[in-house]
Amino acid sequence: MTVIPTARPAPSRIEFIALIAMLFSTIALCIDAMLPAVPAIAAELSPENPERAGLVISSFVLGMGLGTFVAGPLSDWYGRKAVILGGLLLLMAGSVLAAYSWSMESLLAARVIMGLGAAAPRVASMALVRDLYSGRQMAQIISFAMMVFMIVPAAAPAMGALVIAGYGWRGVFWTFVLFAAVVGAWLSLRQPETLTMQARVPLRVGTLIAGARVVLSNRLALASMFVQTMIFGVLFGTLSSVQPLFDKTFGRGDTFPAWFALIALFSAAASLTNALLVRRLGMYRVVIAVLAVQIVLSGTMAAMTLGGYWPDALYFPAYVVWVISLFAMAGMTVGNLNAIAMEPMGHIAGLAASVILALPTILSTAIAAPLGLAFDGSPGPLALGAFVCIGLGLIVMPQMRPGRG
């Protein structure tokens, strides 16, 4: 696809990467900044059933998954910018409703609306990148964006705790409004539309079905979505148990935001490493190597924990290193897997991005939920689940070997 001619100069490569990173970061901010707010939400809106407060995460993911299905096709019809800006407005509206929620039910409904809105910058920005880049160049751009993106999870829990200390848990939602407004203004003023009028695909049911059939019949896309489902399932399962493990198992609840920041920063370094390696080694080789290393790490963590072999002095450091490796795995695989799947989809980039991002997100909850329910106060069940899931992903990876599309 060609870029629409415009009198306004396009942003530099560095600015473009930073903008895409901020669009990617919308979801991370709306999830990770909420983690410190969960106890306060439980105390005010659900004191008789405090575990319901944890649904503020899953309700957002539900909305995001549903929104992901429609954001791509809409961006193929209306253009990338219009859909991203519309999604940011919907996110802002949901955040305002959440800030004024009077019950747990109204808060969860608002979080679903927020997720619906957040899906647009997630999907349409991926299609925007695909309009301009492909193959290893696309993977490199996404890796650099993911490196910047990881700064947000690093700072989000600490930022959320700071806002809560000054303005209560409702104040967190106003930070989402401010963030969306700033990123939306940046996109509107600096980034030209990348989808020409001639390349736009009318939003018709038959066209959507035909496009989805193209994606779901492609070997590369199917294999990529399966592996991403395994990775996301492990990550969502990790997020559901990471704070209880730091707090109740290791007695470090007060310093959790600092530890989470450390984990995220190491993950950012992994994204930078991927950006440097992928142009030389290729996406497939990098993913294979990272998954193989993770099988060894997760298998060791599961065996040592479930067998009760960790010395007390090594237990917590080993857990931190392992969690870092899980997030680093995401930084070195997800962008590559998306680039592999999107490579043959340039003619339907928006719809393809929707399907490729939505299905792993929704299906991964079927993995994350059992992993969360299996939590027994130790990282053992999660580590065992990660070992199995990543192993399945590695088995499927040969389907994405170059030349087998």
- pLDDT given at position 302: 95
pLDDT digits (tens, 9 = 90+) for 99-115: 999 999 999 999 999 99
- Taking residues 88-95, report their average pLDDT: 97
pLDDT range class, residue 386, cuts 50, 70, 90: very high
Yes or no: say if 172 and 163 are a contact pair by the CB < 8 Å rule. yes
Cα(367)–Cα(232) distance, rounded to whole angstroms? 9
Cα(94)–Cα(287) distance, rounded to whole angstroms? 36
Cα(273)–Cα(252) distance, rounded to whole angstroms? 30
**Better-scored residue on pLDDT, 319 or 236:** 319
Phi-psi region of 282 (alpha: psi -120 to 50; beta: other; left: phi over 0): left
Indicate whether 152 pLDDT > 70: yes
Yes or no: say if 322 and 379 are a contact pair by the CB < 8 Å rule. yes
Indicate whether 396 pLDDT > 60: yes
pLDDT digits (tens, 9 = 90+) for 17-34: 889 989 988 988 998 888
Indicate whether 243 pLDDT > 80: no
Q: How many residues does the chain have?
A: 405
**Better-scored residue on pLDDT, 395 or 149:** 395
| Range 13-189+203-399 has CATH code 3.30.70.240 | no
Phi-psi region of 168 (alpha: psi -120 to 50; beta: other; left: phi over 0): left
Lowest mean pLDDT among 161-175, 194-208, 253-267, 382-396: 194-208
Yes or no: say if 215 and 352 are a contact pair by the CB < 8 Å rule. yes
Lowest mean pLDDT among 174-188, 255-269, 316-330: 255-269
Q: Which helix (H) or strand (E) holds 390?
A: helix 380-396
Indicate whether 233 pLDDT > 80: yes
pLDDT digits (tens, 9 = 90+) for 294-341: 999 999 999 999 998 899 899 999 999 999 999 889 888 988 898 888
Q: What sections of 46-79 are H helices per DSSP?
A: 55-78
Angle between helices 135-149 and 104-132 (to 10 degrees): 140
Q: Supply the pTM of this predicted model.
A: 0.74
Cα(25)–Cα(29) distance, rounded to whole angstroms? 6
**Better-scored residue on pLDDT, 252 or 151:** 252
Proportion of the chain above pLDDT 90, given as a percent? 36
Yes or no: say if 33 and 160 are a contact pair by the CB < 8 Å rule. yes
- pLDDT given at position 148: 66
- pLDDT given at position 405: 45
- pLDDT given at position 317: 94
Indicate whether 3 pLDDT > 80: no
Structure letter (DSSP) for residue 10:
P
Give 127-191 as a DSSP string: HHHHHH--HHHHHHHHHHHHHHHTHHHHHHHHHHHHHHHHH-TTHHHHHHHHHHHHHHHHHHHHP
- Taking residues 183-205, report their average pLDDT: 85
Yes or no: say if 368 and 236 are a contact pair by the CB < 8 Å rule. yes
Cα(333)–Cα(300) distance, rounded to whole angstroms? 21
pLDDT range class, residue 149, cuts 50, 70, 90: low
- pLDDT given at position 182: 96
- The average confidence (pLDDT) of the chain is 85
- pLDDT given at position 6: 45
Lowest mean pLDDT among 3-7, 10-14, 22-26, 166-170: 3-7
Cα separations in angstroms, 182 against 15, 144, 290, 367: 15, 21, 35, 35
Lowest mean pLDDT among 23-27, 53-57, 81-85, 274-278: 53-57
Q: Where are the domains of the chain?
A: 13-189+203-399
